């Protein structure tokens, strides 16, 4: 598995794909995110870390445009006025009451993939996550780990420009985790921008070019991965790394 280092210089010079300025999210009277200023650029691999309830999943959903928000959320458009294509894989993925195969086929159809390409993409995706032998099984009878791998296969087959992952290996055994990490590295090598939440600090070191640490709905640290793990941090982040706030 190749190691991913600090953000590439070219990513730092590019216009942000998604930018948040003073952004926040409120659920009723409860503020779950506030004052978030950050940008995601093409080719970055951003790891969101923090304790349970710190706002990681909400920030993923905000970046993806899934929740009403305060402040500004701006999405870059190309010369034709098109926003970057996006996909999100949740920790508990939603699967249709169809076979594994047709969950993939429908996703490809909705993404506008030409019919002549769908079967090849679906087969390759299932092979990559070791689910080909389950192609005709109902997706909802798969184990939790298998469902997560199917969700990742579905996202990979669609090939979005920006992929959001919420704890993508939380329910997987060690072997499956290695397979999923290899798949995420493959996404990155193909130029896909990846933003993921994780509790696995080793995973953040291996996969991310940048780490964002959240505490109580606020971004406390946003640094390149080597700076995050090798330079002094604010006390809250240091305590998290030492396990006191895990």
Local confidence pLDDT in tens for the 246 residues of the chain: 333 334 444 455 567 999 999 999 999 889 999 999 999 999 999 999 999 999 999 999 999 999 999 999 999 988 888 889 899 998 788 899 999 999 999 999 998 899 999 999 999 999 988 899 999 999 999 988 888 889 989 998 988 999 999 998 887 788 878 878 888 888 888 889 999 999 999 999 999 999 999 999 999 999 999 999 999 999 989 988 887 554
Query: Beta strand pairing status for 210-215 and 45-49?
Result: parallel
> Where are the extended beta strands (E) located within 41-150?
45-49, 70-75, 86-89
Place of tokens 């790394």: 241
First to last CA, the chain: 27
pLDDT reported for residue 182 = 86
CA dist., res. 148 & res. 93, Å (int): 6
pLDDT reported for residue 36 = 97
Does residue 45 sit in helix, strand or coil?
strand
Q: What is the CATH number of the domain that holds 221?
A: 3.40.50.300
Q: Identify whether residues 61 and 44 lie together within a single domain.
A: yes
**What's phi and psi for 223, nearest 5 deg?**
-140, 160
pLDDT reported for residue 207 = 95
pLDDT reported for residue 13 = 53
**What's phi and psi for 16, nearest 5 deg?**
-60, 140
Domain that holds residue 202: 1-85+160-246
CA 168 to chain centre: 8
Q: Identify whether residues 168 and 234 lie together within a single domain.
A: yes
CA dist., res. 100 & res. 167, Å (int): 21
Q: Identify whether residues 151 and 46 lie together within a single domain.
A: no
Q: Identify whether residues 67 and 168 lie together within a single domain.
A: yes
> What region, left, alpha or beta, does residue 120 occupy, with left being phi > 0 and alpha being psi -120 to 50 degrees?
alpha
Q: Identify whether residues 246 and 168 lie together within a single domain.
A: yes
CA dist., res. 74 & res. 38, Å (int): 11
Q: Counting beta carbons within 10 angstroms of the beta carbon of residue 91, is it exposed (0 to 12), middle (13 to 18) or buried (19 or more)?
A: middle
Q: Identify whether residues 81 and 168 lie together within a single domain.
A: yes
For the sheet with 162-166, list strands across it. 86-89, 162-166, 193-197, 45-49, 210-215, 218-224
**What's phi and psi for 169, nearest 5 deg?**
-120, 15
Q: Identify whether residues 70 and 173 lie together within a single domain.
A: yes
Using an 8 Å Cβ cutoff, are 66 and 57 in contact? no
Contact residues for 240 (Cβ-Cβ < 8 A; gap 6+): 49, 50, 51, 213, 215, 246
Q: Identify whether residues 136 and 170 lie together within a single domain.
A: no
Q: Identify whether residues 226 and 171 lie together within a single domain.
A: yes
């Amino acid at each position: 598995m190749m190691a991913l280092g600090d953000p590439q210089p070219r990513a730092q010079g590019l216009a942000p794909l998604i930018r948040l300025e003073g952004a926040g999210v409120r659920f009723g009277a409860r503020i779950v995110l506030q004052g978030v200023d950050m940008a995601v650029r093409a080719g970055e691999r951003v790891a969101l870390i923090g304790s349970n309830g710190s706002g990681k999943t909400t920030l993923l959903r905000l970046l993806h445009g899934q929740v009403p928000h305060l402040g500004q959320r701006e999405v870059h458009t190309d010369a034709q006025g098109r926003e970057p294509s996006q996909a999100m894989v949740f920790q508990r993925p939603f699967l249709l009451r169809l076979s594994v195969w047709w969950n993939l086929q429908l996703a490809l159809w909705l993404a506008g993939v030409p019919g002549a390409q769908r079967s090849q993409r679906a087969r390759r995706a299932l092979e990559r996550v070791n689910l080909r032998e389950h192609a005709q099984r109902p997706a909802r009878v798969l184990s939790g780990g298998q469902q997560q791998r199917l969700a990742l296969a579905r996202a990979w087959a669609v090939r979005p420009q920006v992929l959001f992952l919420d704890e993508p290996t939380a329910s997987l055994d060690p072997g499956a985790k290695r397979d999923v990490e290899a798949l995420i590295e493959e996404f990155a090598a193909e130029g896909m921008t990846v933003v993921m939440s994780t509790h696995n600090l080793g995973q953040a070191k291996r996969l991310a070019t940048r780490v964002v640490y959240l505490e109580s709905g606020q971004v406390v640290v946003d640094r390149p991965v080597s700076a995050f793990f090798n330079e002094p941090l604010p006390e809250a982040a240091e305590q998290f790394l030492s396990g006191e706030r895990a």
